[in-house]
Each structure stands twice: as C-alpha cells, then as structure tokens.
Amino acid sequence: MENYPAPARALVAQLSEKAAADPAKAVAYQGAPGANSHLAALGYAPGCVPLPCFAFEDAIDAVRNGQAARAIIPIENSLHGRVADMHFLLPESGLHIVDEYFLRIRHCLMAPDTTPVKSAISHPQALGQCRHYLRERGIQPVAYADTAGAAALVAETRTPGEGAIAPYLAAELYGLRLVAENIEDSDDNMTRFLVLAREANMPEPGVGPVMTTFLFEVKNVPAALYKAMGGFATNGVNMTKLESYQRGASFAATEFFCDIEGMPGDPAIDRALAELEFHTKWVRMLGSYRQARPRT
C-alpha cells in the first residue's frame, strides 16, 4: 500500500476494509482507485466491492487467498495489443476464466487548480494515445506507473501547471478539476478484460455464443503449427485469436495463446481439440465463458 501516493492510500484502505467484510462481493483489480480496471469492475458487476491491488500478481493472489471472489484483468487493447505478462501469469495462477468484459477507454486531462497545464503525468500508453492532443497544446508528457496513481500524485503535490491524464473517476476520487474530456487521439480505443475465479463455471447450453481460451506448445518439428491447426479448419471451428510467445531462454519452445468460438462438449470442438493434442506437447484449458461481444 505504501507504493501508492497518499490520497490513493486512504481510498485503498477503505476499499480493502469493505472487501474484507464481504469477500464474496469483492472484485480485485490492478491499479490505484480510479483506474480503468476500477471502472471495468464497476461496469462488469455494478454491485461489487472493487479491491485495488498494486500489481497483477496481487490481484490474482487476492482471489487465490479468498480475499476476493473474482479478479478482472486486462488482456488486450485494440491499439496496443496484448497486456504484458498476462500470458505468463494466467497459466501459473491456477484460476479459471469465467467471463469477459469490454471497456471503452476514455482519457481526461485533470489538474488541481485553474493554472494552465504545462505537463501531464500518466502511464506511457495513455500518454501515447493522447500524443496529438498534448503536442498541439505544448503539454510535456511525463511517464508514471499508472493513470489513476498519477492523478493521486497530482492531487498530493498540487504543483501549479502539473496535470494528469486518467479516467474521469480519478478526478472525482481525488478532487481534481476536469480540464478536458475524451482527449484520446483515436475514438476506437477498447480494452478487453478477463474475469478470473477459483472455480470454473462452464456456460449453460443456450446462453448464446461462447468462447474458450487455452494454451498449447507445439512440438519442435517441421510444420508443427500447420498440423496442429488443421483440426479447427476441418471441423469448422472459428479461431479468433492465436498469439505466440517464448518461455525461457532457449527460444526453441514456442507457446500459443488461443481463443475459439464454442466449448468442450460440442462434437466439432472435441474433435478439433483431440487433433490439437495429438500434434502438441501439451494443451492447457483456461476457461469457457459467454461472449460479451459477438465475434462473427
């Protein structure tokens, strides 16, 4: 908690106390109060108790330890791609994906007073997404660990001419003045979040389109990926995501993060997964869940 600026620490203490009193309603997220993940928790489960955590590992541990029933974690952004570390943290977490949520990202410029803003503090991604706005107004970008934490820091120091770029909720929580809203350079900035829980929760039949997320490692032989993917094509299974990443220092073992439409129990899915297992070293299922947005 000491890693947060003082105004954020007070809110973290309050929210942590509420979560401790009712863990079943707690949704853990990474970031200071007022972060986009905070907004995602409230949007996904309006009656929840948001539980701020300093790092992604802390949010995952909160669920594993019973401090929260669920965690909501960003997995990818429409402008900047996948969120770093999550492909490594998810399989090691022991948690299951039980849902997904999409949040439209809107950036606001906020300041402690009416002094013209000369510098803006925020997460590097937020600064990059607002670079045209900042450049046109001669505002100097200053990198910080997270958006809401930057707002809390500005509220703590109250330096004239220093502002923050963060969600509107951060301005409300830390008593900052909204200088400008929706300052992002692109209006199609969307982040996809995954909801994690200790127990799997397979969707009931008929709830609508379903996603399944899993990991696998191909065998180190020619055309391994081509052979592994063949079963999805021949069985008519729609694959919406396939991302590769390296684990360890050998650069010889490639692992893949994959989303498909449908779930185990469907004959076509079962046949495709059986063929995948034949051509890979291992397959690890992370969860099946209802689609929050249609893919086809």
Report the CATH number at residue 27.
3.40.190.10
* 115 and 94 housed in the same domain: no
Residue 195 has pLDDT above 80, yes or no: yes
Q: Collapsing DSSP states into helix, strand and coil, what is residue 181?
A: coil
Note down the domain range covering 51.
6-104+189-197
- Alpha-carbon gap, residue 114 to 168, rounded angstroms: 17
What is the model's pLDDT at position 233? 95
**Identity at 265, one-letter amino acid code:** G
Choose the final residue of a domain: 197, 230, 263.
197
Percent of the chain with pLDDT over 70: 97
Residues 70 and 156 in one domain: no
- Helix residue ranges, H only, 65-105: 86-93
Task: State residue 113's pLDDT score.
Answer: 96
By the 8 A CB rule, do 191 and 77 touch?
A: yes
CATH value at residue 214: 3.30.70.260
Banded model confidence at residue 87, pLDDT cuts 50, 70, 90: confident
Please, are residues 57 and 11 in contact by the beta-carbon 8 Å criterion? Answer: no
Within 10 A of 89 (CB to CB), how many other CB atoms are there? 18
Is 193 a known active-site residue? yes
Provide the pLDDT for residue 81. 72
Residue 204 placed within a domain:
no
Residues 129 and 267 in one domain: no
pTM above 0.85, yes or no: yes
pLDDT at 89: 85
| Contact call for residues 162 and 115 (beta carbons, < 8 A) | no
pLDDT at residue 2 in the model? 67
pLDDT band at 252 (very low <50, low <70, confident <90, very high): low
Average pLDDT, the chain: 92
pLDDT tens string 39-82: 999 999 999 999 999 989 999 999 999 999 999 999 988 877 77
Looking at residue 249, its pLDDT comes to 60
Whether the pLDDT of residue 169 is over 60: the answer is yes
Domain presence at residue 203: no
Whether 191 is catalytic is: yes
Where is the domain boundary, 197, 226, 247?
197
Are residues 135 and 272 located together in one domain of the fold?
no
Annotated catalytic residue within 54, 56, 147, 191 = 191
Residue 77 inside a domain? The answer is yes
Characterise 287 by phi-psi region: left (phi > 0), alpha (psi -120 to 50), beta (else). left
Catalytic pick among 54, 56, 193, 214: 193
